[in-house]
Structure 1
Amino acid sequence: MLERLDQLRPRVEKLQFGGAAGTLASLGDQGLAVQDALAKELGLASPDIPWHVARDGIAEAVGFLGLLCGALSKIATDVILMMQTEVAEVAEPHQEGRGGSSTMPQKRNPISCEYIIAQSRGVHALVPQMLAAMAQDQERGTGPWQTEPLAVGQAFLLAHGALAQARVLAEGLTVDVARMQRNLDSTGGLIVAEQVMMGLAPALGRGGPSRRQPRLRPGPAAGRAVGPGPDGRPAGLGTSLGRRGGAADRPFRLSRQHPGLHRPGAGAAGLTLDDRRDAADPGTGSAW
């Protein structure tokens, strides 16, 4: 966002000083000199031409506030979800007299997050108003121009409030690292199953149900929720696929026993895993 802001400022922070018709006629031959001196005094850039009805700069400024508040809303939304009791990985900073519940004394409500989201919604509602105000008539807007003051001040005020609450959140956020680790461990490693899948892809294939391409046949574990097994670790899909030598080891072993398994056009050796499962791993009752 800082990079966007740096890029934005030269386009937005320009002097508007053109006189009644944008010609600086009342200043005679000193018009441009007065304009440059005024811009320097105000710390603004001198415009190439008057931009009284070219409102893209001011609309871009409010659009930037919309982007900023969108980013802040993302942070606030994630913190709210991570503060839920069943997740409980982070918590807003404790402040006396704030965030408590009148009926649940153990609760810490996400007050800063709520303020961030509420104020950001207000900014997002004002961005279309600024965009609509760009359609100004001829060289003097009659109506669209007058709608801008209704939006610009509110947008900056609300964005300031959202930023202030985001700072409180960032400086005092409590993070429960141990809880995060427990949540990651709750699937018994299935959260990183993508690596296993990619390791199996050369042997099993990743395409459609062609008889020349190896594939898994859905078994009784398909779609089953993962719950605790006898040893306290998650059961379900991971346990079903790993009953005999691990989910990854069995197909790798099968591939080594039948090198042509995953090569199209390999004749008898090019049968699918469905055809080879009994010969390769008899009596397992597996879900292959």
Structure 2
Amino acid sequence: MSSSVFDSFLYRDMFSTADMREVFSDTAFVRRMTDTETALARAQAKVGIVPHEAAQRITDRVRPADLDLTRLRADTENVGYPVLPLVTQLAEQCGEAGGYLHWGATTQDIMDTATMLQCRDGLDLIASAVDRVRAALRRLAAEHIDTVTAGRTHLQHALPVTFGFRAAVWVSALDRHAERLVQARERDLMVQFGGAAGTLASLGPGPDALAVRAALASELGLRDPEITWHVARDGLNEIVALLAAIGGSLGKIAWDVSMMCSSEFGEVAEPFVTGRGASSTMPQKRNPISSELIVAAAKLLRDRASSMLDAMMQDFERATGPWHLEWVTVPEAFQLAASALHQAEFMLTGLEVDIDRMRANTALTGGLIVAEAVMMAVAPVLGRQRAHEVVYEACRDAIEQGQDLATALRRHPGLVAELGHTRIDELCDPANYLGSAHAMTRDVVNSHSRD
């Protein structure tokens, strides 16, 4: 029986992916806690705290697949945490060597480290998905580098841009997120080993305790932090905040696409799949389902980031409640981000672009979209303010009389004298007023060579 969209047989592939569900499954978490316990035994053997024979036996005999999961669940509910029940069963598997399991560690050491191992696997999936979405966007930007479309501000025509430029703006944010993912992995994926209050007092005051932590980090491929981070949760907060930011950037793309899919715009359409986006009553409907799911995920990710900020406020050397927020928030954030990226990859890889409709929409205002071009052309002679007033009057005339801008401009003798009919026509062609859109788009398209 399922109780949320993340495990629902109806919705789970709309709000998560199979690979990410596996990374944050109960079995994966138990396996990662077991990995941490066995790695700790080996690390302590290297330092000389645990006998090598015991560490080897622990490594050889521990079998996560042989755990009694029903017993583990019941004991976890009773204890409040899964580590003590887990260690009890693992020790039973290891015989006498089991007495060296969990030596000097505390519950949070094991759970935090296991979570970091899950986050590492999750970030691998996220980074790969981000790269695939970036590749799809670069293809769109390159293909439509000269496809003129209406640039819109406040949902109104502003100046002409190209669809390639718009796609390049989209991918530029994901390029920066890709850099942040690399930085977050290096900075935030830390081993946790501090003991009861974070001081490692159980291993004595000498250098052995810190040597164990370093060896444990090496065993697991995590960063060895300078100090225990039991109640310094900035690392996990940064990871979830980054997932939320990626979701926000994808949500911006999805919002643009969904609006361009509207009947009034008709400039793009999500990939056609029979029945996808269909209405139960309106046969003509082709709803932008992927965009809708991405926007929903982005909004949910914002809430997960907010929860992680709450979880940062922890009391003294062990939190009284905030830690538990992470148990819910971290897995859900990764699943939502994975879902948004999956939907974005599907949507952008097969996005249908109607070039003719984009050009027709650009012409809807009869050339008013390039009024700035005319103003800037005569500003050196009339001065910017006077040029603005003259062109403003021409725009008003065009609107009131139902004419295009070029016709209205020709009715102003001063403009005709200054510019001439041919130059007015050139200025009123949106394709001639794209500024550095082509150059900036090309720079973004080619920037993948620096990845």
Name 1:10's counterpart in structure 2: 186
- CA 1:79–1:43 in structure 2 vs 1: closer, same or farther (change >3 Å)? same
Q: Does 1:59 align with 2:233?
A: no
Name 2:227's counterpart in structure 1: 49
- CA 1:243–1:217 in structure 2 vs 1: closer, same or farther (change >3 Å)? closer
- CA 1:221–1:6 in structure 2 vs 1: closer, same or farther (change >3 Å)? closer
Residues 221, 240 of structure 1: 8 Å contact kept = yes
Q: Which residue, out of 377, 380, 401, partners 1:202?
A: 380
Secondary structure of the residue that 1:135 maps to in structure 2? Answer: coil
Name 1:243's counterpart in structure 2: 411
| Range moving further from structure 2, 119-128 or 102-111 | 102-111
- TM-score normalised over the length of structure 1: 0.75
- CA 1:57–1:196 in structure 2 vs 1: closer, same or farther (change >3 Å)? same
Residues 53, 139 of structure 1: 8 Å contact kept = yes
Residues 312, 322 of structure 2: 8 Å contact kept = yes
Name 2:333's counterpart in structure 1: 155
Secondary structure of the residue that 2:384 maps to in structure 1? Answer: coil
Rounded to whole Å, the distance in 1 between the matches of 2:255 and 2:357 is 19
Residue type matched to 1:34 in 2? Answer: V
Residue type matched to 2:203 in 1? Answer: L
Q: Does 1:84 align with 2:252?
A: no
Q: Give per-residue Cα distances to partners, 1:173-211, cap 9 Å, x unaligned.
A: 11112222222233443322222111111222234x9xx
Query: How far apart are 1:19 and its partner, in Å?
Result: 0.8
Residues 254, 294 of structure 2: 8 Å contact kept = yes
Residues 13, 44 of structure 1: 8 Å contact kept = yes
Name 1:167's counterpart in structure 2: 345
Secondary structure of the residue that 1:49 maps to in structure 2? Answer: coil
Rounded to whole Å, the distance in 1 between the matches of 2:378 and 2:245 is 42
Name 2:247's counterpart in structure 1: 69
Residues 89, 175 of structure 1: 8 Å contact kept = yes
Secondary structure of the residue that 2:196 maps to in structure 1? Answer: coil
Name 2:286's counterpart in structure 1: 108
Rounded to whole Å, the distance in 2 between the matches of 1:214 and 1:121 is 41
Residues 394, 409 of structure 2: 8 Å contact kept = no
- CA 1:223–1:43 in structure 2 vs 1: closer, same or farther (change >3 Å)? farther
Name 2:202's counterpart in structure 1: 26
Residues 100, 108 of structure 1: 8 Å contact kept = yes
Residue type matched to 1:94 in 2? Answer: F
Name the % identity. Answer: 50
Q: Which of the two has higher C-alpha Rg?
A: 1
- CA 1:190–1:222 in structure 2 vs 1: closer, same or farther (change >3 Å)? closer
Rounded to whole Å, the distance in 2 between the matches of 1:80 and 1:197 is 33
Rounded to whole Å, the distance in 2 between the matches of 1:152 and 1:141 is 17
Query: How far apart are 1:71 and its partner, in Å?
Result: 0.4
Unmatched tracts of structure 1, length 5 or more: 229-234, 254-288
Residues 375, 391 of structure 2: 8 Å contact kept = no
Residues 203, 252 of structure 1: 8 Å contact kept = no
Q: Give per-residue Cα distances to partners, 1:78-104, cap 9 Å, x unaligned.
A: 111111112111100112332112232
Residue type matched to 1:222 in 2? Answer: R
Rounded to whole Å, the distance in 2 between the matches of 1:91 and 1:220 is 36
| Range moving further from structure 2, 142-151 or 112-121 | 142-151
**Aligned pairs, how many?**
242
1:128-277 matched pairs, under 5 angstroms: 128-207=306-385, 216=390, 219=393, 222=396, 225=399, 235=403, 238-243=406-411, 248-251=415-418
Relative to total residues, which structure has the larger helix share, 1 or 2? 2
Secondary structure of the residue that 1:222 maps to in structure 2? Answer: helix
Q: Which has the higher contact order (CA 8 A, sep 6+)?
A: 2
Q: Give per-residue Cα distances to partners, 1:223-267, cap 9 Å, x unaligned.
A: 864786xxxxxx15553332256x8434558xxxxxxxxxxxxxx
- CA 1:226–1:36 in structure 2 vs 1: closer, same or farther (change >3 Å)? farther
Rounded to whole Å, the distance in 2 between the matches of 1:150 and 1:19 is 24
Residue type matched to 2:396 in 1? Answer: A
CA RMSD of aligned residues (A): 2.6
